[in-house]
Each structure stands twice: as structure tokens, then as C-alpha cells.
């Protein structure tokens, strides 16, 4: 797609984008482990891992850029948005806030900017329906032996 490429033309920038996309893929599991956790101790480990992931993206991924790849959305942004989008739903379901604006101001700004892009905004699922569904899922998880 030459008119809207997901990866930059520059080889080093392309490698960096692939790194962050793989990072997102690897780290999404800690978000789901937190969602499925039952005991406080297990949940605490997962919270620490989530906070480390968010700190890494805030400090090393975004830096002073609008998006992970610079001024436009790319592969790394799409991959990582999946992680933070689900994290937002899971925060609502569990009542535990991890992605706080005062701790991660650039990341929160990135999420806002990302959601304001027309094609993204038009295609995001209804957050209330997502929260309602995952509350039911979590209740079943918590009550099963």
C-alpha cells in the first residue's frame, strides 16, 4: 500500500517498527493474565509487568513523537493500540487503574490522538458493550473452581 504504508521505507525505522509490534504481541499476555487472575499476589505480579510495559513504551517507544513511527500511524501503533485498548476495558471491569495520565502523559496523549484518527474512530467497538461482556466473563471466571 504505497499511499498509506504501515512500515517506513528506511530500513532502521522499519526494524524499529517491527520491534515494537513484536513487543506489543509479547506483552499483551500480561494484560490477559491480569484479567484472568484470581488471587491478589498473582494479580500484583501482572500489574508490575503491565506497568513496566507501559513505562517502556512511554520512555523508549514514544519519546517526543506523536505516534510510535513519527507523525503517522504505522504497524507498531496498530499493534500496541490493541494492548492498551483491551487494557482500558480490563481496567473498567476490574476497577484497577494502571494507565494513569499523571504517570504516563505521553501514552495517554498518544491514545487520544490515535482514537481521533477518522478511520480508527469510525471502527472502534462500543466500549460499554465490551465492558458489559467482559464483566460477565470475569464473573464466570471468578466463580468457577
Residue 108 is predicted with a pLDDT of 95
Residue 145 is predicted with a pLDDT of 53
Residue 76 is predicted with a pLDDT of 95
Residue 41 is predicted with a pLDDT of 62
- pLDDT tens string, the chain, 145 residues long: the values are 677 789 999 999 999 999 999 999 999 999 998 888 876 666 788 899 999 999 999 999 998 889 998 888 999 999 999 999 989 999 999 899 999 999 999 999 999 999 999 999 999 999 999 999 999 999 898 888 5
Residue 1 is predicted with a pLDDT of 61
- Please answer whether residues 132 and 125 qualify as being in contact, where contact means their C-beta atoms are separated by less than 8 angstroms: no
DSSP characters over 36-91:
H--SHHHHHHHHHHHHHHHHHIIIIIITT-SBTTBSS--HHHHHHHHHHHHHHHHH
Residue 16 is predicted with a pLDDT of 94
- Please answer whether residues 82 and 24 qualify as being in contact, where contact means their C-beta atoms are separated by less than 8 angstroms: yes
How many helices and strands (H and E) does the chain possess?
6, 0
Q: What angle do the packed helices 75-94 and 11-36 form, to 10 degrees?
A: 20
Q: Among the CATH numbers 1.10.8.100, 3.20.20.20, 3.40.50.20, 1.20.1050.10, which is that of 11-143?
A: 1.20.1050.10
In the chain, domain spans: 11-143
Cell representation of residue 111: 491514545
Residue 44 is predicted with a pLDDT of 86
Residue 45 is predicted with a pLDDT of 87
Amino acid at each position: 500500500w504505497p499511499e498509506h504504508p504501515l512500515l517506513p521505507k528506511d530500513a532502521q525505522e522499519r526494524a524499529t517498527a517491527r520491534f515494537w509490534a513484536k513487543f506489543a504481541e509479547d506483552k499483551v499476555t500480561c494484560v490477559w493474565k491480569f484479567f484472568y487472575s484470581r488471587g491478589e499476589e498473582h494479580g500484583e505480579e501482572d500489574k508490575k509487568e503491565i506497568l513496566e510495559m507501559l513505562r517502556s513504551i512511554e520512555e523508549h517507544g514514544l519519546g517526543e513523537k506523536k505516534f510510535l513511527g513519527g507523525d503517522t500511524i504505522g504497524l507498531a501503533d496498530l499493534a500496541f493500540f490493541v494492548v492498551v485498548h483491551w487494557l482500558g476495558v480490563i481496567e473498567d471491569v476490574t476497577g484497577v487503574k494502571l494507565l494513569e495520565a499523571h504517570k504516563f502523559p505521553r501514552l495517554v496523549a498518544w491514545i487520544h490522538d490515535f482514537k481521533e484518527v477518522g478511520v480508527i474512530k469510525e471502527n472502534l467497538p462500543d466500549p460499554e458493550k465490551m465492558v458489559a461482556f467482559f464483566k460477565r466473563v470475569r464473573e464466570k471466571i471468578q466463580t468457577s473452581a
